[in-house]
Structure 1
């Protein structure tokens, strides 16, 4: 059902006020915002990829994967062009008490690489900001309007919480046996430069991610094609991206399990990097760096890595940010990268250009 922006968000607000599960999402470079409004507050577990609906899967722990089922929800749509701006918060006080801790974490990661434990590890942090009130629906309007080329979502379940983000990274897009995915790595801020000069560290990081994704695809697909490496912009950040296409020849669920978590959010080799993350990061990632999106019958899915995201819980806005660590990483630069990534959400909250 296609509604005007005003009617669409009024219906969404009424549903949210009743503390009923919902999800709003917009695919990258598409003009429609989709809404799924679940009829009751049942928490539905994701059991397999033959279910139909919108899924949220954590970084680790499949038992916490959930779905808003298509057959238990009302579906509505509106055109992005009919959506008005939401309110912004003019002043947001930021403090970084966790900076030294993150610098030490990065140094520990580099030392582990030097000792041969892995080639790359992705290390992250959370940033908590006191915010007694948040107009989450207004914030989502601004997010979708500002980042039309990202996967913009707002997900809420009273038994889990509220998450929102603007992901630049496709995990996998499968339709009619055709696979589209990407290797996305390396980050540099937009400082008004006309060209981006990538260092050897960033090029090697991108190459590692590409090789790992191709390795994951080989047992589940055929006719694999790889694009040239491109510089792409997401919000005020630049990344290196390689597009990958293939034909699905195996089980989709098996392929997704092989892909996730990707080297772009975990590391290489996957298992020792994952062990290091779980032992050394100062918090639990939960749904950050998991994946989310829509699944349908007949092995079709549009799934995105849960990046550039936040959670609103207990009157706090919790941002999640991280970066890929290699042997050439410098802790201070990695810290700055996390600060820049956090601005994707923060600038929308405050209305900063």
Structure 2
């Protein structure tokens, strides 16, 4: 007698095994909640922007009915703008393990790179000044402006090796590698990164969001780091920027949740390269069975938060389109997974890059509010590039 697919015991793997097994074309996601590696495609999830959670629920139900992968999930990424590319699939094989653990970080290979800023640094600071004029004129309260780098290596970039260095450098980050190849691409394309920012996580009827906004670079000196953490907590400008983001996230989750808890004061979390003001928001879903209350449904409702867009959102999106010369693509979108029960984890697609053979494209942004200094915002983007540049062996260059 066969055992139904959804009741078969799942094999037990180690996080390190799944990381070592990743190959381009697979789908990888890890965090402190666990590690997921998926392969193959049982279904491609379509749906219009804002309605993909319903399409995902239908795809998962259909795959489960025909006996697809045990513990099926939808995994993938959505771009920043509603019309941006989207990659959402139900994989054929899903393997899970615990969270990554500390391990030595492999050295990046020595190689020659050419780096092209998109735009040039001076053009970015000019855009910040133009954004400040919009803020002073009352059209915006906040807008997040990003700039890009395009790196060309002297040979193909190994995505598995890059992913391994990102996971080992910060096992607590939300690391991912998602195949985002599209028709017309001359070579396979992978979205890879290690995001510090949890957009939303769901377990049963419990949800967690952890918006980040307000940042300072981390350094090698412990005493100076303590000073920077204190300065971040005391900064009126950084706290104002963070308050916009936390309030926006709480407002959206309040439409879905009861007993929503929003801490009165932010805390500070650190990555290997940055310090961020952080607010951990928790709540209980009022209607957990609804597709719109799935992890993906909540993520769609939250996206884009003021952490990557601005306030008010529509005006900020228009300003971003006018002031940023390069399209963001998947940067500042969302990446993650949702299972058939609606549980899952979605993060903001920052500290990320798109890799295609020897070309690597990455972005970093900074929140512009009244009182922002264009040169300091440029420095902030430079610091945020370091997560990927270090993993590529090009730290300090920007």
TM bin (shorter chain): 0.7 to 0.9
> 1:37-48 residue pairs with structure 2 within 5 A?
37-38=39-40, 44-45=45-46, 47-48=52-53
The equivalent of 1:243 in structure 2 is: 280
2:372 is the alignment partner of 1:349: no
Q: Deviations over 1:104-142 (max 9, x none)?
A: 111111111011111000000110111132111011111
2:80 is the alignment partner of 1:59: yes
Distance 2:206 2:98 in 1: 28
- 234, 258, 267: which one aligns with 1:230: 267
Distance 2:367 2:247 in 1: 16
Deviation of 1:62 after TM superposition, in Å, equals 5.6
Instruction: Give the gaps of 5 or more residues in structure 2.
Output: 1-10, 61-72, 183-187
For this pair of structures, how many residues does the alignment match?
Answer: 343
Q: Deviating runs (4+, > 6 A) in structure 1?
A: 4-7
The equivalent of 1:89 in structure 2 is: 109
2:44 is the alignment partner of 1:22: no
- Secondary structure of 1:350 counterpart: coil
- 68, 77, 93: which one aligns with 2:89: 68
> 1:288-299 residue pairs with structure 2 within 5 A?
288-299=331-342
> 1:1-353 residue pairs with structure 2 within 5 A?
1-3=11-13, 8=18, 11-13=21-23, 16=24, 21-27=25-31, 29-30=32-33, 33-38=35-40, 44-45=45-46, 47-48=52-53, 49-50=56-57, 51=60, 52-61=73-82, 64-70=85-91, 72-75=92-95, 77=97, 80=100, 86=106, 88-90=108-110, 92=113, 94=115, 96=117, 98-131=120-153, 132-159=155-182, 161-191=189-219, 192=221, 193=224, 194-195=226-227, 196=229, 197-198=231-232, 199-227=235-263, 228-250=265-287, 251-252=292-293, 255-313=298-356, 315-350=358-393
Instruction: Give the gaps of 5 or more residues in structure 1.
Output: none
Q: TM-score, normalised by structure 1?
A: 0.88
Cα RMSD (Å) of the superposition?
2.7
Contact kept? 2:140, 2:311, Cα under 8 Å: yes
Distance 2:77 2:120 in 1: 28
Closer, same or farther: CA 241–79 of 1 in aligned 2, 3 Å: closer
Closer, same or farther: CA 133–87 of 1 in aligned 2, 3 Å: farther
Greater CA deviation, 156-165 or 101-110?
156-165
- Secondary structure of 2:279 counterpart: strand
Contact kept? 1:55, 1:295, Cα under 8 Å: no
Distance 1:172 1:178 in 2: 10
Q: TM-score, normalised by structure 2?
A: 0.78
Q: Deviations over 1:5-47 (max 9, x none)?
A: 786566534xx3xxxx3111211x35x542111158x855364
Closer, same or farther: CA 225–136 of 1 in aligned 2, 3 Å: same
Higher strand proportion, which one?
Answer: 1
Distance 2:105 2:172 in 1: 18
Distance 2:239 2:21 in 1: 46
